[in-house]
Amino acid sequence: MATNYQGKKYRGWVDPEAELGDLIEDPSSLERRSDARLFLKRAGRHIFHLDVVYAKRPTPCLAYYAFGRSLGHGSARISVRRVLRYSEVLEREGFQGVPVLAAVWRRGFLSRSDGLVVMQEVPDVVELESWGRHRSRTHDRIAWEDPIAANLASTLARLHEKRLFHGDLKSRHILVRPGDTDQFIFADLEKMKRLGRSPGLALDLFAARDLIQLLSSIRDGHPESQVNNGFLEKYLAGRDLGSRRSNRLRAMVGLYGPGGRFRQGETVLRNLLGALRGKR
């Protein structure tokens, strides 16, 4: 993981063409800046719209300020470093992530855990339709249908063959340009992982999590629908799994839908808790 910035309080990586001024050493100043427009506010995570001078031009960006700890994300320091690391990994492996202009975290493991990621807003993109608990909206929506579903199946199969797993693959975290529906941009990389030498079952569990998160965030996203049956089969055709592991993945993903025990539009965690409590 490349680092080129060593400040008094923070360290990390900053694109040489990004002019960020005092923001790098005082990320919390986003809360007070008149030119920063709050976009999303959650526990330990605040995201702002902000114009940044990049390559000598004002450039629309998202400034993501993480502090403390939050459920499912761990420390802010780890989250920021992971976004930087996996944006680099995706590019190296031939995939696309949201361009990162800066990622810095507070120095010292005994100090307060906070950090900043500045990402360039990707123009002219839409996100896949979402529903249920995943319905928050960032961009305009595009319908979940072929050829988008088929193209995404192939892309996701290639990603998983590289042992890369998104970890939070809700439909709104996948961006696409309407005129270029075979190229996808993966957003929100805080939970992404790369598994090295791991048993097949572990790899399949991580793959199933991505597939379930995606399908459960799309209306009628269960594998029994015509589009999603084709999506799942195209995904499996792009994997080198063999019949046993392919059938195991089908069974895992089949937990969703009319014939399954998990509800559409709910998170994986809530569905697991509901199943354990005998409510499904």
User: Splitting the chain (280 residues) into consecutive groups of 10 residues, what average pLDDT does each group show?
Assistant: 79 94 91 91 87 95 82 68 94 96 82 86 87 62 84 96 94 89 92 90 90 80 63 93 92 69 62 64
Whether the link from the prior residue into 58 is cis, omega within 30° of 0, is: no
- Nearest in space to 255 (alpha carbons), one of 218, 219, 209, 204: 209
Model pLDDT, residue 152 = 94
Q: Rounded CA gap, 164 and 181, in Å?
A: 21
Model pLDDT, residue 40 = 84
Model pLDDT, residue 127 = 87
Q: Are 1 and 81 in contact (CB under 8 A)?
A: yes
Q: Are 105 and 115 in contact (CB under 8 A)?
A: yes
Model pLDDT, residue 145 = 81
Report pTM: 0.85
Per residue in 21-58, pLDDT (tens digit) is 999 999 989 989 999 999 888 778 899 999 999 999 99
Model pLDDT, residue 199 = 87
Q: Rounded CA gap, 66 and 79, in Å?
A: 8
Question: Both tokens of residue 157?
Answer: 């199969």
CA of residue 145 relative to chain centroid, distance? 21
Question: Both tokens of residue 175?
Answer: 């961006």
Q: Are 224 and 231 in contact (CB under 8 A)?
A: no
- Nearest in space to 90 (alpha carbons), one of 102, 99, 81: 99
Model pLDDT, residue 212 = 84
Beta strands at 57-67 and 45-54: parallel, antiparallel or unpaired: antiparallel
Q: Rounded CA gap, 19 and 63, in Å?
A: 13
CA of residue 246 relative to chain centroid, distance? 24
What number of other Cβ atoms are within 10 A of residue 270's Cβ?
13
